[in-house]
Amino acid sequence: MADKERLRIAAVADLHVKKNALGALQPLFAEVTEVADVLLLCGDLTDYGDVEEAKILVKDITAYLRIPSLAVLGNHDFETGKQGEIKKLMADAGVTVLDGDATEVQGVGFAGVKGFGGGFGRRSLGSWGEEIIKKFVHETIEEALKLESALARLRTPQKIAILHYSPIQATVNGEPPEIIAFLGSTRLEEPIDRYRVSTVFHGHAHHGTLEGRTKGNAVVYNVAMPLLKQTFPDQLPYRLVEVPVGEPVST
């Protein structure tokens, strides 16, 4: 376990577990158990949102993971409309699934939502015109409000945000420009900076960039498994980050 001063966080997203993948995550979960104090699973846990895929993941978690784990769902986990069942399977396996919720691990606060798209900065999609556009933007706003509500409940010096979609463009750069707007939203950045989040983890952008910062200087890590595999081919695909348990370090 961590000492009293630092928490070791392992994070990965976009596992895309398939029905024939039993045991595939054994090396990752076994190593993470040895080197980290908590594991973050940042969405797209399953490949097609299939309950059988979730059951395979849960079997590997219960067999090989021996540290606390927190998760958010991703867009793939919603594909078949079984996200409620997937969430319950994960919870029954001891995984804390966050959806506008907050929790603490060894004195560090975590808030999590899936997030949504809409684009970044001045190019963000506005709520104007056809009703379907307004609904798209409303979904993004609702996810940002859920994140804000979760962060507001934390009283810890250190606050960590867990997302699937990105709150900044920097960590999705590298993807085709045509899909940038569907990989995240600036609207997620605002509550992160207002509540002085120190660190953010997300996935979704398989060909994005490893790190960036919000306007308020929160460190943002893209932990999509395909990106980690490509960048660190000689390592197991997860990111290990240590954060202080006490007051955030000035940067």
pLDDT tens-digit profile of 93-114? 999 999 999 999 999 999 999 9
Q: Which residue has the tokens 């606390």?
A: 68
Residue 251 lies in a domain: no
**Cα dihedral value 49, 51, 52, 56, nearest 10:** 80
Q: Which residue has the tokens 């040895």?
A: 34
Residue 2 lies in a domain: no
Residue 143 lies in a domain: yes
Could you give phi then psi for residue 167, rounded to 5 degrees? Answer: -90, -5
Q: How many domains does the chain have?
A: 1
How far is Cα 71 from Cα 162, in angstroms, rounded to an integer? 8
pLDDT means per 10 residues, the chain with 251 residues, are 78 97 96 98 98 98 98 98 98 97 97 98 93 96 98 97 98 97 98 98 98 98 98 98 77 43
Integer angstrom CA distances of residue 202 from 1, 29, 93, 247? 24, 19, 22, 23
Using an 8 Å Cβ cutoff, are 114 and 43 in contact?
yes
Using an 8 Å Cβ cutoff, are 46 and 56 in contact?
no
Please tell me the total number of residues recorded for the chain in this structure: 251
How far is Cα 100 from Cα 211, in angstroms, rounded to an integer? 24
Q: How confident is the model at residue 212, as a pLDDT?
A: 98
Residue 64 lies in a domain: yes
Read off the CATH number of the domain in which 211 is found.
Answer: 3.60.21.10
DSSP of 25-62, one letter per residue? THHHHHHHHHH-SEEEEES--BSS--HHHHHHHHHHHH
- The single-letter code of the amino acid at 70 is L
Using an 8 Å Cβ cutoff, are 159 and 197 in contact?
yes
Using an 8 Å Cβ cutoff, are 26 and 60 in contact?
yes
Residue 50 lies in a domain: yes
Residue 249 lies in a domain: no
Residue 173 lies in a domain: yes
Q: How confident is the model at residue 247, as a pLDDT?
A: 67
Domain limits at 188? 7-244
Q: How confident is the model at residue 246, as a pLDDT?
A: 76
Residue 149 lies in a domain: yes
CA angle 47, 105, 15 (to 5 degrees): 10
